[in-house]
Structure 1
Amino acid sequence: MFSSTVMDHWLPAAAGDLAEGEGVVVVDPELPENRSVSVLQVEDGPTVVCLSPGRAAHLGHAHGEHIAADEATERITAAGIALNDPDHLFYLPVEEHASVLAETADGHTRRLTEEDVDAFAALAAAAPENDLDEAFVELDHWLVFGNFVEGRLAAAASMFPWRGTRLADLGVITLPEYRGRGLARATVLAMAAEALDRGYEPQYRCQLDNAPSVALALASGFRRFGEWTVIDD
């Protein structure tokens, strides 16, 4: 369903035969402290617990160890390790790639450049602060797209390569008065098409309780890959 770029990044070979409710431990010496503990629950699939060597020793885990999914999270909690609120992980199924690439952007949606700094600044000034923080859309990101209404930047989306991989993490924001018009969807799809054309896999993350963002992901053709939680640093 999902591309090898997605599957190879998230699922170790040891997870290949595991079913829902079963888990595997991955010990990675390259994990930074702010990702020294993470838990991925794949939709209708296994759980992958990624740990730094120090965290693995603390929790009593070994690389490649198979463990029940609920036991893994119980050990983390019992050790006093706090986790952030989980994120949905959404990706475009392989069968959606062609339709995204074939979709023609309307005349109001285009890539943003440094010449759009004033338009972007106006959007940032008008947007609710919490929305800006959660969306993490920046004009200097790897790819940035926007949708204009009567000359005003009403929606913007940006993405950047995810930790040296071919996954491209995206964020999107629409000014409140322009919501419900499909502007965010048009912007996300135009940017996703550009990322796919460059050989990157668009990655859409959002909090579990962010219903509008979940709806936008699904409307844009993304499907849920799993639920990802990292240590609260």
Structure 2
Amino acid sequence: MTLFSQTITDFWGESFNHETFYSDDHFHCIINPNLEDNRRVMVLTTADDKVYAVITPAIAAKLQLSKEQPLSEVIFRNKLHEAGILLHGADHIFYYTKQEKSKICSETVAEHIRQLTVQDTVVFSKFEDSASEQDLDDAYVELDHWAVFGSFAEGHLVCASSMYPWGSSKLADLGVLTLPPFRGQGHARKVVRAISQYAYGKGYEPQYRCQLDNTASVSLAKASGLTLYAQWEVISPDSPSLS
């Protein structure tokens, strides 16, 4: 039995379960003509260290891939570099396992945590004023997102998490931000689980992304009960157009 829900495996399978150009025990190269332009190159490195690269036929032609020539992850990445094709820095992708989902759906949300609405505009504005611009940019927590939850202490909003549907999928991408004086007190963990419970109730799977070097965010994901699914890289907008 797989760890993760069918929603998650189907989402990634839609892009990566296409014509296999090359495959070995470690590296798999897939050609998919249906990729959107901003995802015409993607690389997914799963938690068990298998690497799946998916590209459009145009990218395959640009890289001059040939079944008569050897291929590996190293060769593939070198070909991207030689063609001037850049990838964004990788993100960790975390999800809840089916077992953890069951726990979240039956949990009682703490009294100091609740859903935020437009009626909390003043409260949320004060929260934003107390956070640094860098933290606000990194967390991407917004009151007008699809769902927003907050944790309160000393009469103030001290931690907030927001979600929005990821494209047209049934994944809900989340961000979370705790004000510095209140970090390390469990606010973020509880808010992440509370908003995830809400997402499950609406038929969505929570998705948590963070950059590989964001150790604090990685620690929060694990503390919140999330499990690493993969590392995800996607083509950078600075890469040359093929038109």
Q: TM-score by structure 2 length?
A: 0.87
- Which residue number corresponds to residue 10 of structure 2? 8
* Partner SS state of residue 94, structure 2: strand
Identity %: 42
- CA spacing shift, 1:150–1:230, aligned 2, 3 Å: same
- In the alignment, residue 42 of structure 2 is paired with which amino acid? S
- CA spacing shift, 1:20–1:114, aligned 2, 3 Å: farther
The whole-number CA distance in structure 1 between the counterparts of 2:151 and 2:33 is 41
* Partner SS state of residue 80, structure 2: helix
- 1:179-208 alpha-carbon deviations (Å, 9 max, x no partner): 010000111000001111111110000010
- Which residue number corresponds to residue 27 of structure 2? 22
* Count, aligned residues: 227
1:209 maps onto 2:213 in alignment: yes
1:139 maps onto 2:154 in alignment: no
- In the alignment, residue 175 of structure 2 is paired with which amino acid? G
Q: Superposition pairs for residues 165-204 of structure 1, below 5 Å?
A: 165-204=169-208
Q: Are the equivalent residues in 1 in contact too, given 2:31–2:57 (CA < 8 A)?
A: no
* Partner SS state of residue 104, structure 1: coil
1:82 maps onto 2:86 in alignment: yes
- 1:36-67 alpha-carbon deviations (Å, 9 max, x no partner): 222111111532223344333312359xxx95
- 1:106-139 alpha-carbon deviations (Å, 9 max, x no partner): 1110110000111111111111111111111111
Q: TM-score by structure 1 length?
A: 0.90
Residue among 25, 33, 36 paired with 1:31: 36
1:44 maps onto 2:48 in alignment: yes
Unaligned 5+ runs, structure 1: none
- CA spacing shift, 1:78–1:47, aligned 2, 3 Å: same
Q: Are the equivalent residues in 2 in contact too, given 1:166–1:199 (CA < 8 A)?
A: yes
Q: Which has the larger radius of gyration?
A: 2
Q: Are the equivalent residues in 1 in contact too, given 2:92–2:228 (CA < 8 A)?
A: yes
* Partner SS state of residue 87, structure 2: coil
Q: Are the equivalent residues in 2 in contact too, given 1:90–1:222 (CA < 8 A)?
A: yes
The whole-number CA distance in structure 2 between the counterparts of 1:49 and 1:129 is 35
The whole-number CA distance in structure 1 between the counterparts of 2:8 and 2:71 is 23
* Partner SS state of residue 131, structure 1: helix
Instruction: Report how far residue 20 of structure 1 moved.
Output: 5.2
The whole-number CA distance in structure 2 between the counterparts of 1:28 and 1:41 is 21
- CA spacing shift, 1:131–1:26, aligned 2, 3 Å: farther
